[in-house]
Amino acid sequence: MAPGGAGDTPEVALSGPSMTSRKSVTGGGKRDEELILPINSSLSVTLSQDQLKTTTTAAISTDFTEDRIWLNGREEDVGQPRLQACLREIRRLARKRRGAGDGDSPPLSLSYKVHVASVNNFPTAAGLASSAAGYACLAYALARVYRVEGDLSEVARRGSGSACRSLYGGFVEWQMGEQADGKDSIARQLAPEGHWPQLRVLVLVVSAERKPTGSTVGMQTSVETSALLKFRAESVVPARMREMARCIQDRDFQRFAQLTMKDSNQFHATCLDTFPPISYLNDTSRRIIQLVHAFNAYCGQTKVAYTFDAGPNAVVFTLEDTVAEFVAAVKHSFPPAANGDRFLKGLPVTPVPLSDELKAALAGDPTPGGVQYVIVTQVGPGPQVLDDPHAHLLGSDGLPKQAS
């Protein structure tokens, strides 16, 4: 990162936490939509950046005439309220630090405009937590550029509630807090990424299309109309949070898996209890649920678990020694349409034959092309600074390199 003197363009590219709203205990709605304060605590797992990541570059300069932002190569409206909330908060913190008289840093004019470029290597706005990864990466990048230190939970949360969890690796809790100003609504790491090395995560991409109902709009409607959501937040989630934390600490996969599936099911039940009802799952999503339960029944124990966020794509938790057999079951149930050589991405998987007994146990006829591809990954760290200039997304002129 370059010095922040006049005319300089300090920039930092970050390989952000890949996807972090793969909730073992799924979050609920918001009690304050402006401050993005939740009605209950929640828990998530940060995935490895080797397979899934958001990369963000931020730069400030006297040459820039306005704030600008590009997402996946396309310029977006910088006036979006949540984006503006992040910018205001990071600049407020920078003014506060400058006012404290930090003599260790060269002067940095807060009147400089900022350019931001961000790229996801996984489907955006498809229920795979792209906003959580993106806003966590944005908050971290802006903090480096404006030399803001300390907990960035509030900055990231103002963009996307789940983003505060994405600032940490491993297993992370977003504490709902009680204060009206949200100062105690922060994230904390329950266990680091290396805590459970055998745990694997499979992302079954059913559709890369944008979901018709955004998670923010959908959950706010649920808060307003779903009695089940209120009951869930007050009477179910607190106990599940404690139990899930225990399962993670003890690496108790069977209980972890069962809680994950039950909570996913209940989250989508609140969506149906919303008025008008919201349905994020499609026929393939429900077929995946059947497949998981059939696989577990055949094994005689819970060896895989699904969870769905606000979209049709499934995230499956399992242990390393089960990956190959379950992948074979997925390929049997959802034969690749035309991309057999690209059906599996991420961590390598050694092919294994599927037994005739397991084939018979898998319910329903195969659905060719139902799953577009599978990404095999694992638990990963929080944001990482990319020092290689070639990884930066903005050129010396402050514009995206591909558009320069």
> Any idea what the CATH number is for the domain that residue 212 is in?
3.30.70.890
Shared domain for 159 and 216, answered yes or no, is: no
List C-alpha distances in Å: 131 to 58, 59, 67, 125, 160: 17, 20, 19, 7, 6
Is 205 contained in some domain? Answer: yes
pLDDT at 109: 67
Task: Kindly state the average pLDDT of the residues 360-382.
Answer: 92
CB 117 within 8 A of CB 137: no
pLDDT digits 0-9 by tens, 307-345: 998 889 999 999 999 999 999 999 999 999 776 778 999
pLDDT score, position 150: 87
Mean pLDDT check: name the lowest of 239-248, 295-304, 391-400: 391-400
Examine the pLDDT at 86 and tell me if it is beyond 70: yes
Q: Read off the pLDDT band of 212 (50, 70, 90).
A: low
Cβ contact 106:4 at 8 Å: yes
- Top pLDDT among 284 and 104 is at 284
Q: Which residue has the higher pLDDT, 404 or 277?
A: 277
* Residue ranges making up the domain that contains 103: 11-191+384-403
For position 136, which CATH number holds?
Answer: 3.30.230.10
The Cα–Cα gap between 383 and 311 comes to 25
Domain check: are 373 and 392 in the same one?
no
- The answer to the question of residue 212 being in a domain is yes
Domains of the chain: total: 2
- Give the pLDDT band (50/70/90) at residue 6: very low
pLDDT at 404: 43
Residue with tokens 């797992």: 45
Q: Do both 206 and 297 map to the same domain?
A: yes
For the cut 60, the answer to whether the pLDDT of residue 168 exceeds it is yes
Average pLDDT (286-302) is 97
**What pLDDT shows up at residue 65?**
94
Tell me what pLDDT residue 366 has.
92
Q: Is the pLDDT confidence value at 258 over 80?
A: yes
- 2 lies in some domain: no
Same domain membership, residue 287 and residue 224: yes
Confidence check: pLDDT of 403 > 70? no
Please say if the pLDDT value at position 182 is more than 90. no
**Mean pLDDT to the nearest integer, 232-247:** 95
Same-domain status, 173 and 80: yes
Global pTM? 0.88
Please tell me which residue, 220 or 115, carries the higher pLDDT value: 115
Q: Tell me the range of 75-84, 296-305, 364-373, 392-401 where mean pLDDT is highest.
A: 296-305
- What mean pLDDT is predicted for residues 372-393? 91
Is residue 164 located within the same domain as residue 29?
yes
Q: What is the mean pLDDT of residues 4-8?
A: 32
How far does CA 41 lie from the centroid of its chain? Answer: 16
Q: Is residue 39 in a domain?
A: yes
Same domain, yes or no: 392 and 325: no
Q: Mark whether 185 and 267 lie in a shared domain.
A: no
18-30 pLDDT, tens digit each = 333 333 334 556 6
Is 224 found in the same domain as 184?
no
Q: Quote the mean pLDDT of the chain.
A: 86
Task: Please determine, for residue 36, whether its predicted confidence score (pLDDT) is greater than 90.
Answer: no
Decide if 1 is inside a domain: no
Task: Report whether pLDDT(211) > 60.
Answer: no
* Residues 166, 207 within the same domain: no
Residue 3 lies in a domain: no
Q: In terms of pLDDT, which residue wins out, 333 or 403?
A: 333
Alpha carbons 241 and 253: distance in angstroms, whole number: 15
pLDDT at 213: 62
346-349, long-range: CB < 8 A, 24+ apart: 346/50, 346/51, 346/52, 346/374, 346/375, 346/376, 346/377, 347/51, 347/200, 347/323, 347/376, 347/377, 347/378, 348/376, 349/323, 349/324, 349/376
55 closest CA partner among 86, 16, 21: 16
Q: Which DSSP string do the residues of 97-126 spell out, in sequence order?
A: HHHTT-TTS----TT-EEEEEEEESS-SSS
Q: Please name the residue that has the structure tokens 């607190």.
A: 238
Domain assignment present for 4: no
